Chains A and B, each alone.
Chain A
Amino acid sequence: MTIRRLPEGTVNRIAAGEVVERPASVVKELVENAIDAGATRIDISMAGAGRDLIVVADDGVGMTRDELVLAIERHATSKLPDDDLVRIEHLGFRGEALPSIGSVSRMTLSSRARGSDAAWQLQVEGGRVSGPQPASLPGGTRIEVRDLFFATPARLKFLKTDRSEAASIAEIVKRLAMANPLVGFTLREGEREVFAYLSSSGADASRDRLAAVMGRDFADNSVAVAVERDGVRLAGFAGLPTMNRGNAQAQYLFVNRRPVRDRLFTGAIRGAYQDLMSRHRHPVVALFLDLPPDAVDVNVHPAKAEVRFRDEQLVRGLIVSAVRRALAEAGHRASSTVAAEASAAFRTGSQGAFYGPAGRANGSSGLAEAAAAFQHQAPPGAQTGQHDPDGFAPASRTTEATTGSAQHYPLGAAVGQLHETYIVAQTEDGLIVVDQHAAHERLVYERMKKALLSGVARQGMLIPEVVEMDEGAVGRVLARAEELAELGLVVEPFGGGAVIVREQPALLGEVDLKGLVRDLADDLAEFDDATTLTERLNDVCSTMACHGSVRAGRRMTADEMNALLREMEATPNSGQCNHGRPTYIELQLPDIERLFGRR
């Protein structure tokens, strides 16, 4: 067998294997080209989930006849003006997309360069080029891809169902749309419009686009993140912990406006939300990281889904601290989705529970019970003092005097206690129901955590524990030795394949150090973050907090309740318990009015 150079067509198909994996990758490449071409609106249509037809049309700068011919050559691009792979400022740069797509489909490119009066068109079929011919096009570029993968039938067999291929096309376009609020996007499937995002400008452009893509809920229930450190800028929005999901799909990171999936990011987000929600829930975030092109290497993945940062620690630290700070500033806010669920429960309560047990089954959530309890109460929105004291703690009567002055606080003035478990407070424009145990537990926990920050006590090991691991794990753990020492765990190298634990966090008492260190090594590999240790420490705090806090079933005086509300306002993250459940719900007056059909 002799070594030979592969023909151009085969080379392109091999390249296509990396770049063009499924219809969504075609859409990604073409839309990125359109964005790089300075388009202000991009129209995408597809048929047969992109298998039969993909059309991407933009109003960008367009190409001249000669450029058009060159564009379908491999490694031909306009995006690396000075051949510098370190400073990459465009989404594309490899010059692979068009020839790769052309080699596995029937592609028609039409383009009219800005300022030119003629449009040109070119056909590529399975890598064979014909044209260019004159064409008619008002401006910009239009690329039509038919019969994708007809030249590589094997690939067709690996495609998923139409539904999931179409969904991933929509997902790709959404991601690109989130990162480019100034560009309008429409996606059509056949005749049906899947979505259309208008191009917007102005200060709120980014927020408006995120709201359009991720839904109004996200816009209402997220806090803005904006920091800059050492030339790295992080902006975007972090969802409140009470708005969480079962998977990490709704976590978006854009590096220099390029959507990426990165384990560093996943780990940093996990770290930032660490004790705000259960390990099995995932927050919703959209963050834009802008850093000098030479601080990040995007050329590590053919589809550019991963990136490498020159200073990973800086990026991670920035994300964790910025998100934590933003969430802490949000303080006691719980998401309004919770209140929406609550008022939904109220509604089922008034329709069903009134007439019989069927309503309970209907309402299903525990809030139906609260609703039932409310039926005994005065009409919501009425002034205090008229309600039937039955079911309210007697404290309600004593609060009347203080109600007026305390009402302007965000969490309002306590008007009473329900079932010795929930505090009801009246605010200027609504009603708050607080779970007294969850709220107090969080307050005690936050206080303990603060104490923990001032220094973790370390118990020296009389008989140091030797932990044997593979060398990679040893390296990972030792590389973070300083950080671990701050958390109370002092490790030193011990031969090639082991570390020795010299001191341990006193808080943990007698503990399985081997297991702890090995878990840490796994954590570092998976998330690049020593979350296990902080979690273990926080677990101890949270157990102590649980025992040290006011239980459900304890009667509280008005002063106690108001003090709790005031402390919640002053404490970061008091809007949810350690597992991401809300500590209180808020019903706005309009919500209440809607319940009574007044609106």
Chain B
Amino acid sequence: MPSQSDTPTGWRPRHGVYWLIIMPALAMLVLLYLVPLADVLVTSVTDPKPGLDNFLLLFTSTSVQKTLLTTLRIAALTTFVALLLGYVVAYAMRAANSSQQRLMLFCVLLPFWISVLVRSFAWIALLSSRGPVNAGLMAWGLIDEPLPLVRNETGVLIGMVHVMLPYAVLTLYANMRGIDVRLVAAARSLGASRFQAFRMVFLPLTRPGLIGAGTLVFILSLGFYVTPALLGGGKVLMIAEYVAVQINDTLRWGLGTMLATTLMLSVLAALWALSRVLDVKRLFGA
């Protein structure tokens, strides 16, 4: 390993010390994070009795299937819209001058750090039938009565895109920044029109970014709880909220942990697959 040969010799004999200082964090992670997750896994095949009965519900229970379908549909739609909007924003950021760029980056980062709860609440207020969006549309005479924008899938989608867009923009932007601008210039000088240069050179080069951003947004969307619960108003049940309902209201631990396990394994499998194409750690990099 190259990094090891860089290590000054004076540090070598103290290797044990490094594992000692890694320990507190590692112990916490194992005891307070990995053990609980393992417990969820175990419960899913032992409660109420050992076996894969809980997982059979994935194929037999209509309410489970309906929830899964809703989850997949909303996650897919969110991913599609976030990629589309995110691509345009990232493209514009790349083309903008540096002062514009800073303002744009600020606009992207700002919602990143405002609590999802606060943002969902703001969207409820904005989209409700007496809220400013409907009021504005009626004042302009575009509609006669309030549109149902919240407590349905539309509201969930708006809220989720809003939460996911920064992830898409930042991942795509990081990818686009790595593309040499001269490549597009070269394509133009060789006879490609603006559109041809974009389609044949720029777009293919952003494919890793699209794959990365798409996977990231999709798997984060799968596990979403707060936004769908609040903006769906209990009418749009995604998997995370469904799990919470099983535990808190009906105390069906077997079903709840089975769905949680399914959710976790899908997310980790997607991440693992993605890690074969790109450096996943960078996606989560601050």
The answer to whether A and B assemble together is no
